[in-house]
Chains A and B, each alone.
Chain A
């Protein structure tokens, strides 16, 4: 293959790649690619507040991941999870009510 043929082939590949879908595309690269009420975030046009909350979620996820053990220790008791203390309190309350009702 001569030099000019190789150049032609390389140019053809570059042009075909640039014009076809082999470029990894998103909806947007700039904020102005989106309509005025939207901004570009992660290659997609999103509502501005959503973009901010996405950022906040990402930050929170990172924080949870880094403080995973601490989060478990602090949040070990789930709000709806029954515990021994609450069971005992519930049983005594029921007994008192039952007792009062009998008398």
Chain B
């Protein structure tokens, strides 16, 4: 009596077969036709204290700052938000800059964000930034935002040599889903 020899596929073939559904599902979910990019816009005004200096630390009131920002998120991952903001220091001196942030929604009312901040006029300042926001719904598409923000400028032509500059802000504004 002859025993039929069963031919098993190679390990490579078995791996491909096993991973194919996973690969398809990953790419299919990213390219799903139902996926939508959701845009938002916000305007915030804030101030606080700032300090720096070598040797003795100095502090003073931070400039009053206007931040106008746009943000983007994907409807399938609404908690992950990418934002770019334009910064305009109004008083006591004028300055212009921008920031890039990744924000993470924590529930429906809170948000943590972190990124980089840069001023380009009157001179350059660059550094990391982090903030926290409390979002209070005003309407289905509009929210009032309030929260602190911390910035540290570590390089730039506007920094005195051998020093860093830090800022602690409290800001309030409105965010609108577009």
A residues at B contact (CB < 8 Å): 18-19, 23-26, 28-33, 39-43, 51, 55
B141 at the interface (CB under 8 A from A): no
> Judging by beta carbons under 8 Å apart, are A23 and B59 in contact?
yes
Pair A29/B165 contact, Cβ less than 8 Å: yes
Nearest-Cβ distance from residue B97 to partner chain A, whole angstroms:
12
A31–B165 alpha-carbon span in the complex (Å): 11
Assess whether B140 is interfacial by the CB under 8 Å rule. no
Closest Cβ neighbor of A23 among chain B residues: B59
Among A18, A28, A32, chain B packs the most CB atoms within 10 A around the CB of: A32
Interface residue ranges, B against A (CB under 8 Å): 49-61, 93, 95, 122-123, 125, 157-161, 165
Q: Are B60 and A40 neighbours in the complex by a CB distance under 8 Å? A: no
**Cα distance A26–B165 in the bound complex, in angstroms:** 13
Known: A42-B53, A43-B56. A32 touches B160 (CB 8 A): no
Set of chain B residues within 8 Å of A40, measured between Cβ atoms: 160
Question: Are A30 and B159 in contact (CB-based, < 8 A)?
Answer: yes
Instruction: Give the residue of B52, B58, B93 whose beta carbon is less than 8 angstroms from that of A32.
Output: B93
Q: Is the CB of B56 within 8 A of A24?
A: yes
> Which residues on A sit within 8 Å (CB–CB) of B160?
28-31, 39-42
Cβ distance A14 to chain B, nearest Cβ, rounded Å? 9
Q: Give 20 new A-B contacts, CB below 8 A, not counting A24-B56, A30-B159, A31-B123.
A: A23-B49, A23-B60, A23-B61, A24-B59, A25-B59, A25-B60, A26-B53, A26-B56, A26-B58, A29-B50, A29-B58, A30-B160, A31-B157, A31-B158, A33-B93, A40-B160, A41-B160, A42-B55, A42-B56, A43-B53
Contact A30 B53 (CB under 8 A): no
Which residues does chain B contribute within 8 Å of A41, judged by CB atoms?
Answer: 160-161
CA distance A19 to B51 in the complex (A): 14
